[in-house]
Structure formats: structure tokens, C-alpha cells
Structure 1
Amino acid sequence: MERKLFTSLQGESSDQLNNSLSKQGFRRSQNVLYRPTCADCSACMSARIRVADFKPSRSQRRAINKNNYLKRAATSPWATEAQFELFRDYLETRHADGGMADMDVFEFAAMIEETPIRTRVIEYYITSRGGTPRELAATCLTDLLDDGLSMVYSFYKPDLVKDSLGTYVILDHIEIAREAGLPYVYLGYWVPGSPKMGYKARFSALEVYQGGQWVDMIDPEDFAAEAHPLESEPIAQQVAKIDLPDTHTVPHPSREPRSEY
């Protein structure tokens, strides 16, 4: 049984609330911020990269070189047919049994466009010899926080997996953050022992949100995937410890039970 704390993003305080709660392990999905708070498991930990301290590994430098033919374009959060086709190909190849596998074009458009905060769509194109964008290779829905970039969701051409395109998109976001003087790139949740999320632990200068604070990940093996039920604080105590921005208009986090992990 999955359980989450969640709150809606609405009104003039949306950016302020998103900035504050993202620093406390929350993630955005359309107009909702959420954080896992399961009673007997603490495996899902928000992860972020310290941009100033990041140093690419040898394989990550190869990924940069392999994809130097791509052209980056940042646009407003607006869904396109090319994005949806790429999204469907990506899901059918990489996550055919995932929770998003049956998402239709209207739900996809909502994922991209329903955002009350500063958001961009970062696209990567295969270019012609003259440098003109020719074919969409990757897309990332990216939130702009006051202390970094939050990679909400990314997808790419499945046949380019051999070029480590997914890794390259993260590396390019690190470069965007560096150029903008932003200290962090938020990667979403990391789960110890999960093969699908193992790639996040390969980035240096990685921090995870554990026990109410950001801690360095030195060795992924140091992080247990489960917690005893008695170690989980009651919901009321968890909510009381959340640091909300100084405004009277932000909604308070609540509890959302889920039957599907």
C-alpha cells in the first residue's frame, strides 16, 4: 500500500510553495506536489546533484561526445504531436508495464501543459548537415526552481539508448544549471536496489533526502530500502515538521492512500 503526502499548487504562491517543498523531498506532478510517506517503507528518496562539485566519469564524458551532434531547444510547456509519438515509442520499449503505459494524447498534454509554475520543455534534435533541427530525439519537462532545475519527466528515442541519451540529458541539465548559476539539478526519486533507478547513483556529488535532511551518497549500499513500521513518524508529526513559505495562502499537505505502488 503506497501512501503520500500531497498538496495542490494554485494561486500566486505556487512558485514559492514549489521552491520550498522541493527542498524537502517533494516532487511535482501537474498541479500537485507529493512526497512518499509509506508506513513501513522509506525506500523512495528524492535525489539531487550538487552542480559545483559534479565531475563526470569516463563513461559520462563518452556520452557527451557521442551526443554532440544534438541541438538543444527550450520552449514553453506546450505538447506537440512529435513529443507524443516519441513518448509512446519510449514507453512501449522501456516501460510497457508501467503506470503511464495507457496514457492517451489528452493525458499527455495535461502532463506537459498543466503547470502553475515556471516550467520549460527542453528538446533535443538530430540536426541536418547545416545544423537545422530535423528529428526530435529527446524531451525533458523541466521546472525552474530558485536553487536549481527539477527534471520532472524525460523520454527519448529508444534506438539511441546505445548512445546513453538518457544520461546525456541529465549531463546537459547540469551544464544548463552551471551556466545559470543554479546549485542543484533535482532528479526525482531514487530507490536502493531498483535496476531502473540505478543510473542516478552513478552521478557524482549526489545527495538524497533522508530523515528530514539532504545527505551525501558515498556508497549506495549504505542506504537500506526498508524501515521498521515503528520507525515511521505519525502523519501529523511529519506534516508539523514541513517548513512552509511565509504566506497565508498556501494549502497544507494532506494524506493520499494508494493501492498501487
Structure 2
Amino acid sequence: MDIRLDGISHYYGETEVLRDITLDVPSGQIVCLVGPSGCGKSTLLRFIGGLERPTKGAVLQMGQPPEGCLNPLTYVFQDFALLPWRSVRGNISLVLEDHGIRGAKADKIIADVLARTKLSDFAKALPKQLSGGMKQRVAIARALAVNPAVMLMDEPLSALDSQTRELLMDDLIALWDRQPFTAVYVTHNLNEAVRLGHKIVVLSRRPGAIREVVEIDRPLTERSFADVDLERTQKHLWTLMREEARAADEELLDV
């Protein structure tokens, strides 16, 4: 299933937040949204997820969700959103219970996503026993359990230290390589964007408008933190954003 944003503009009161966003999210690709603080990245994600409606324009779902899809659009948050009294398995099973899936069918799905996220040995652990990186793996496993058409990832690695972030990026790449998924991925981290994004959408400061769309043809599995070409792309992205990021920061400080 593809997603198309068609002329999205939005106001909060008299404040224009987004201006004329037109964008395609092709099936099987990770599309990263980057831009200065307050440019409307998370707002755009909420429109895609149907949590809010834009003032103008539309979000179109094109084609059919994958077979067995329980939730066409599924969020992965930066704060993990795990229930502390439920085990790893219990947190994953929760989304299946919402669809009436229990017993052997649920067991099969849970076993699959635990294996895919390298959590099989931690099925009985409680969230308090897990590191931040492990908690985010659980959140990703929970999202995968409903076989979504599109994952909406709102800065999923921002709460993690740099080493854990690198490991989780490797995990996400391995997951995608094994079974390609579609994602809209909001991040402030340009290294994440060039490592994970097939398409990187650079938004301007408020009102957020598309400044440039950068496409990276290199396979995800062939990218690394020391890649010279990716470093060049990252510098280009920062050149696009630097002055606007400074201006946006000053605007936020003046509030």
C-alpha cells in the first residue's frame, strides 16, 4: 500500500504550521522526514496516521494492505509506550487481543516477531528489566505483530545513547532486508536519515514546506557509519537546514 500526501496545509489558530506538502511514500520504502524543530514533522505524521485532519489537502491510501494486515497504520514512539506490568510477550500480545487473536494463532505471530527482533530469550522479562534499546525492540516487535502496511516512526531512537542507536539501526536494516516494510520515519538525526532512508524529505522552518527530496539508491545493507558518500549526503542535508535550524531555535527561545 502506497501513501500519497496531496497538498497538505495546516493552521493552528492563525499560525501556519505546514504549507502545501505533496509527497509519495512508495510501498517497501523508508521515507525520512527531517527539518528544524517546530517545522511540523510530527504533525504531518499524525495526519498520515489519521489522529488529526489537515486544514487543507488529503492523505490518500493507494492499493491494498498486505495479506493478514490487522492495522494498516501503526505507530512506533520514542518513549516505547510499554505496559510495565506486562512481560515482553504480554506487551506484544496486547495488540493481538484487540483483534480477538489468542491461543495458538497468537503464539505463532508472537514467536515470529520475537525471533525477528532477537527477543526470543526475553519473552518473560518485564520492561523494568530491559535496557532502552531492548524496550524499543519490544515496541518494534509489537508494531510488526499487526503486519502493518505502513509503520509511523516518531523519533524512535532519540531517547537512546549513541552506541545503542547504532545497534538499533543495524537491527532495523536487518529487519527490512529480511522482509521489506514501509515506514515514515521522523528524526532530527541526519545520520539516521542517511543510514535508513530510501528517500529523505527536508522540511523548511515553520510553516513547514518541502525544500528538497533526497533519494539514496544504495541498498540499506551496503550503508555504514563510515561511508564517505553518505557523509557527503549528510553534509548536504545539514547545509540545507543549518540557517533555518538556527532561526527556528531562536524562535523557540523567544516564546
**Fold-level similarity (TM above 0.5):** no
Report the TM-score when normalising by structure 2.
0.33
Report the TM-score when normalising by structure 1.
0.32
**Structure with the higher strand share, 1 or 2:** 1
> Greater relative contact order: 1 or 2 (C-alpha under 8 angstroms, separation 6 or more)?
1
